[in-house]
Amino acid sequence: MLAFLKALRPEFRPTIGLALPLVIAEVGWMTMGIVDTIMVGRLPNSAVAIGATGLGQSLYNSVVIFGGGLLLGMDTLVSHAYGREDHRDARQWLVNGLCVAFLLTPILMLGVSSWPALMQLFGISPELVDPMRPFLRALNWGTLPLLTYFALRRYLQAINVVYPIMFALISVNVANAVGDWVLIYGHWGFRAMGITGSGWSTCLSRIYMALVLAITLVHVESKSRLPTWAGAMRIEFQRVIALLRLGAPAATQILFEIGAFSAATAFCAKLGPVPFCAAFTFMVPLGISSAAAVRVGQQLGRGDRAGAMRAGWSAIALGVAFMASSGLVFISIPKIIARLFSPDPNVIRVGASLLLVAAAFQLFDGVQTVATGALRGTGDTQTPMLANLVAYWFLGLPLGCVLCFSLGWGALGIWIGLCVGLMIIGTALLIAWHRRLLAEG
């Protein structure tokens, strides 16, 4: 094992250099939602405000994150082109990725606009649906800039330009907080718009994010000595299909994963601090996963399969190391962490026990997340999708329901079921990554 880690040592520095800004960007993405919740929570009817914005954000994200997932194939295709120094091909993938974003926008916006009527059909209280409607409409106008941001980000990180991505997510949190303050409560001459103001602030923030990356692209390309973009500005049907062929399984895998945890919350809402803690620690391997996809893809583009192997394993090792450390923190101070979320002794007791279970699967969460990125770098997005479908929906959730309801274990049973599913996914993807390298070698 020591010899194996020593062989990977040269890969740790470039992987960390690429991953760290992306990790900070992922944390910044998560922070935006937290800031929005805090800001609307100060409105007079805070329970309704938080409920309406939380529901609206969840419904919007369920649609648009799927759309963003359809662009994940750019990680593979752009990094391969960049690795073999075919910059014209990389540019063509960006142009066609932006085309996919434009084509998806009206479809996704139509899907988002149908949510309020569906929520009424499902019997959700009008007290939540009515204020959610204009809030969701405001968010919806940010769909095109958000998908544009997704496409530009995938291109820039695939050519090793990551610090502007980090800057965009850090600075947009400041802009969004100011926008919330101005538009929710009515400052600087603007009328108070309530939770709708939060939606418009988020919409404007997404325009800002897309502009930052667009300016970055222009700056990076203007300083390069590459040929002009004239030959790359072509929409090609085959490229669009190739992007969707890679992106569709990746997007579906994200839905399976998010859906599993959403279903667990619906089955047993009293999961205490576990979802937040798990989501926060997840941001680190998620950033490392993006770096893994890029590093593996670039090495394969260069024809260096041994380098791709080292890049993938080094990223997996980093993800495992972080998640093992976070698991140790969960084990060491579970009651202290639970007390941060509530002073209620029952909440602390349940939350602490759930954090102990969560600690057990941190290792596998790091493995499955980073291995998913490494596999995506090779062009394999179907294996993670199938693993999530089988492990969560056919095994983990049914087991959790049996433990929760039939055996009376409550929230602990649901969480154990999710843990089992996650362990299966992590193991399966690690085996798939190892076998794929052997097959390609």
Evaluate whether 439 touches 420 at the Cβ level (below 8 Å).
no
Write the CB contacts of 85 (distance below 8 Å, at least 6 apart in sequence).
none
State which of 70-79, 184-193, 328-337, 427-436 shows the largest mean pLDDT.
70-79
Vertex 147, ends 227 and 158: CA angle to 5°?
A: 45
Mean pLDDT (the chain) is 87
Tokens of 400: 């959790």
Q: What is the pLDDT of residue 162?
A: 95
Query: Mean pLDDT throughout 107-132?
Result: 87
Amino acid 439: pLDDT: 63
Average pLDDT over residues 199-211: 96
Q: What percent of the chain has pLDDT over 70?
A: 90
* Residue bearing tokens 């998560």: 30
The model's confidence at residue 406, banded by pLDDT at 50, 70 and 90, is confident
- Cβ contacts of residue 122 below 8 Å, gap of 6+? none
* Residue 230 confidence (pLDDT): 63
d(CA 353, CA 311): 36
pLDDT value, residue 106: 96
- Using CA atoms, how far apart are residues 303 and 83, in angstroms rounded to an integer? 8
More confident of the two residues 3 and 123: 123
Most confident residue range from 224-238, 273-287, 416-430: 416-430
b/e map 266-303, b = 16+ CB within 10 Å: ebbeebbbbbebbebbbbbbbbbbbbbbbbbbbbbbee
Which residue would you say has higher pLDDT here, 327 or 388? Answer: 388
Distance separating alpha carbons of residues 113 and 375, to the nearest angstrom: 35
Any residues with CB less than 8 A from the CB of 355 and at least 6 apart, and which?
272, 273, 274, 277, 330, 334, 337, 338
Q: What is the pTM of this model?
A: 0.90
The token pair at 136 is: 């969701």
Q: Per-residue confidence at 223, pLDDT binned at 50, 70, 90? A: confident
Cα distance between residue 375 and residue 385, in whole Å: 11
Q: Which residues contact 23 (CB under 8 A, 6 or more apart)?
A: 283, 284, 286, 287, 288
* Cα angle 415-419-423, degrees, rounded to a multiple of 5: 175
The model's confidence at residue 419, banded by pLDDT at 50, 70 and 90, is confident
Reported as a single tens digit per residue, the pLDDT across 128-175 is 888 889 999 999 999 999 999 999 999 999 999 999 999 999 999 999
Lowest-confidence segment of 92-106, 271-285, 382-396, 403-417 by average pLDDT = 271-285
How many CB atoms are located within 10 Å of the residue 430 CB? 18
The pLDDT score that the predictor gives to residue 344 is 64
Judged against a pLDDT cut of 60, whether residue 249 lies above it is answered with yes
Q: For the segment 74-83, what is each residue's pLDDT rounded down to a tens digit?
A: 999 999 999 9
**3-state SS track over the chain:** CHHHHHHHHHHHHHHHHHHHHHHHHHHHHHHHHHHHHHHHCCCCCHHHHHHHHHHHHHHHHHHHHHHHHCCCHHHHHHHHHHHCCCHHHHHHHHHHHHHHHHHHHHHHHHHHHCHHHHHHHCCCCHHHHHHHHHHHHHHHCCHHHHHHHHHHHHHHHHCCCCHHHHHHHHHHHHHHHHHHHHHHHCCCCCCCCCHHHHHHHHHHHHHHHHHHHHHHHHHHHHHCCCCCHHHHCCCCHHHHHHHHHHHHHHHHHHHHHHHHHHHHHHHCCCCCCHHHHHHHHHHHHHHHHHHHHHHHHHHHHCCCHHHHHHHHHHHHHHHHHHHHHHHHHHHHCHHHHHHCCCCCHHHHHHHHHHHHHHHHHHHHHHHHHHHHHHHHHHCCCHHHHHHHHHHHHHHHHHHHHHHHHHCCCCHHHHHHHHHHHHHHHHHHHHHHHHHHHHHHC
375 torsion bin: left (phi>0), alpha (psi -120 to 50), beta (else):
alpha
Q: What is the pLDDT of residue 272?
A: 52
Q: Write the CA distances from 186 to 93, 142, 194, integer angstroms.
A: 43, 21, 9
Q: Given pLDDT bands bounded at 50, 70 and 90, which one contains residue 265?
A: low
What whole-number distance in Å separates Cα of residue 215 and Cα of residue 89? Answer: 21
Task: List pLDDT tens digits, range 313-368.
Answer: 999 999 999 988 888 888 888 778 777 666 667 767 767 777 777 777 788 888 99
